[in-house]
Amino acid sequence: MALQNITVLGSGTMGAGIAQTAACARFDTTIYDIEDRFLDKAKTGIEKRIARQVEKGRMDGLDAADATNRLRYSSDLAAVVGAADYVIEAVPEKLELKQDIFRSCEEHAPKGCILGTNTSTLMISSIAEALADPGRLIGIHFFNPVPVMKLIEVVMGPDTSNTAYVATLEVAQKMGKETVKVRESPGFTTSRINALIGNEAFRMLEAGVASASDIDKALKLGLNHPMGPFEMVDLVGLDARLNNTRALFEALGDEAYRPSPLLERLVSAGRLGRKNGRGVYRYDDEGQRIPGSDDVTG
Ligand SMILES: NC(=O)c1ccc[n+]([C@@H]2O[C@H](COP(=O)([O-])OP(=O)(O)OC[C@H]3O[C@@H](n4cnc5c(N)ncnc54)[C@H](O)[C@@H]3O)[C@@H](O)[C@H]2O)c1
């Protein structure tokens, strides 16, 4: 039976993007959050982004109306999972929170409903400890911004069933995404490599090997990376990167992941990236990078 009803848990950055992508792929999509004000914010954001697609001629008006009509917003968890074929959880990255929410899913969702988690760092097996049937749980790891980024990492726990895997491929394919299959391990494939490159870039900067903008330029023009490591960390948030790198260092025990002291200092100084206008680079009120602003000492 084809999957039709998707329920997204959490309406933040990722949840809103996932719900938008699901509705545009003609899934009947319900988005859940704990308070109506979060849902209102997500609705406004989704509708604005869909309208922008129409303005730019990237989406037909009828398709936009169809997507908008397929979206439902609710703060009643039992009701939203009650008719779901596939749940995608995108609540904050806290093990107990994810376990609690999946326990409720197991109680209220239909037996065949697959449970997907968008966790970026937690082990599928740890979350699955809360479930009577851990075979239903799988990692479906999206990238930000979800409507734009092509990849989903499909993360298999030791007990994840083939049924959950096949269903996840079906969801991904209908959303127009490519997949890679990953055995659960710290940082999966993308975050593990990205943290390593980012950490080394900070070490090189601290050692005075080159300026931040020249390191970015070198990776873009010499290695064909679409973004430099400092442009990337400013987008992701220096605090989020520091947390990820610390977690990988603890999990893998590899010195290469010991967070660079420069990254630690910048976070302590409140330089968090684009989100507060000052990371490795500085940004003006419109979010434009200020030329020549890559002095990390000041
Ligand atoms: N931001 C990223 O780039 C990114 C990328 C990949 C994966 N992730 C993962 O996705 C998940 C969500 O991240 P995010 O950046 O969207 O976070 P976010 O803080 O933007 O959104 C989280 C949402 O969950 C809601 N929430 C809190 N408690 C809840 C509960 N008990 N039930 C339902 N909703 C609840 C919050 O109100 C908020 O709207 C995390 O596991 C994160 O690691 C994030």
Torsion from C-alpha of 280, 264, 246, 130, nearest 10 degrees: -90
* CA 59/CA 55 separation, integer angstroms: 8
pLDDT given at position 1: 61
Co-location of 216 and 145 in the same domain: no
172 and 196: one domain? no
Which neighbouring-strand residues pair with 66?
Answer: none
Quickly state the pLDDT bin for 172 (edges 50, 70, 90).
very high
* 93 CA closest ligand 1 atom index: 41
> Among 163, 183, 203, which residue terminates a domain?
183
Mutate to test the pocket of ligand 1, among 8, 33, 248 (most ligand atoms within 8 A of CB): 33
Mean pLDDT, residues 133-147: 97
Q: Does some domain include residue 286?
A: no
Cross-sheet strand order for the sheet of 137-141: 71-74, 28-32, 5-9, 86-89, 114-117, 137-141, 151-156, 178-183
CA-proximal residue: ligand 1, atom 15 (nearest): 13
Angle at 148 between CA 145 and CA 149, to 5 degrees: 80
65 found inside a domain: yes
212 found inside a domain = yes
User: Do 272 and 243 share a structural domain?
Assistant: yes
| Pairwise CA distance, residues 26 & 76, whole Å | 23
Q: In this structure, are 110 and 251 located in the same domain?
A: no
Residue 298: pLDDT above 90? Answer: no
Which of 8, 11, 13, 100 for mutating ligand 1's site (highest number of atoms within 8 Å of CB)?
13
Q: Examine residue 288 and state whether it is found in any structural domain, yes or no.
A: no
Identify the CA nearest to 24 among candidates 55, 60, 57.
60
Q: Per-residue pLDDT for 204 more than 70?
A: yes
Query: Can you tell me the mean pLDDT for 57-81?
Result: 97
Q: CB–CB of 102/89 below 8 Å?
A: yes
Q: Which residue has tokens 């989100």? A: 275
With a pLDDT cut of 70, the percent of the chain lying above it is 99
Q: Examine the domain organization and report whether 145 and 10 are in the same domain.
A: yes
Per the listing, tokens 């710290």 go with: 186
Q: How confident is the model at residue 296 (pLDDT cuts 50, 70, 90)?
A: confident
Same domain, yes or no: 36 and 176:
yes
Give a yes or no: residue 295 inside a domain.
Answer: no
DSSP-assigned states of every residue in 91-132: --S-HHHHHHHHHHHHHHS-TT-EEEE--SSS-HHHHHTT-S
| Atom from ligand 1 closest to the CA of residue 15 | 16
CATH of the domain at 113: 3.40.50.720
Distance (Å, whole) CA 86 – CA 9: 11
Residue 202 included in any domain: yes
Region 217-233: mean pLDDT is 97
Q: How many folded domains does the chain comprise?
A: 2
State whether 172 and 222 are in the same domain.
no
Which of 156, 183, 210 is the C-terminal boundary of a domain? 183
Pocket mutation for ligand 1, best pick of 36, 120, 182 (most atoms within 8 Å of C-beta): 120
The last residue of a domain, from among 183, 203, 234: 183
* Ligand 1 pocket residues where CB is under 6 Å: 9-15, 32-34, 38, 90-93, 97, 101, 118-120, 142, 144
| Element (DSSP H or E) covering residue 153 | strand 151-156
Question: Which of the listed residues 37, 38, 81, 91 should we mutate to test ligand 1's pocket, taking the one with most ligand atoms within 8 A of CB?
Answer: 91
Is the Cβ–Cβ distance between 88 and 9 less than 8 Å?
Answer: yes
Q: How much is the mean pLDDT over the chain? A: 96
Q: In this structure, what CATH number is given to the domain that contains residue 270?
A: 1.10.1040.10
Residue 92 lies in a domain: yes
Distances (CA, A) of 117 to 37, 134, 195: 23, 12, 21
Distance 1 CA to ligand 1 centre (A): 30
**Residues 55 and 134 both lie in one domain:** yes
Phi-psi region of 10 (alpha: psi -120 to 50; beta: other; left: phi over 0): left
Is residue 143 located within the same domain as residue 206?
A: no
pTM: 0.91
Claim to verify: residue 143 and residue 218 sit in the same structural domain = no
Whether 154 and 97 share a structural domain: yes
The answer to the question of residue 233 being in a domain is yes
User: CA end-to-end span of the chain, whole Å?
Assistant: 59
Q: Which atom of ligand 1 is nearest to the CA of 100?
A: 31
Average pLDDT (169-186) is 97
Query: Model confidence at 226, in pLDDT bands (50, 70, 90)?
Result: very high
How much is the average pLDDT of 47-72? 97
Given a cut of 80, whether residue 9 has pLDDT beyond it is yes
Place 294 in a pLDDT band, splitting at 50, 70 and 90. confident
Task: Examine the pLDDT at 96 and tell me if it is beyond 90.
Answer: yes
CA of 118 to the centre of ligand 1 (A): 9
Give every CB contact of residue 293 below 8 A, 6+ residues apart in sequence: 281, 282
Please tell me whether residues 22 and 49 are part of one structural domain: yes
In the predicted model, what is the mean pLDDT of residues 76-89?
97
Q: How far is ligand 1, taken at its centre, from the CA of residue 298, in Å?
A: 33
Q: Which domain holds residue 152?
A: 5-183
Q: What pLDDT band is residue 297 in, cutting at 50, 70 and 90?
A: low
- Ligand 1 centroid to Cα of residue 93, in Å, is 7
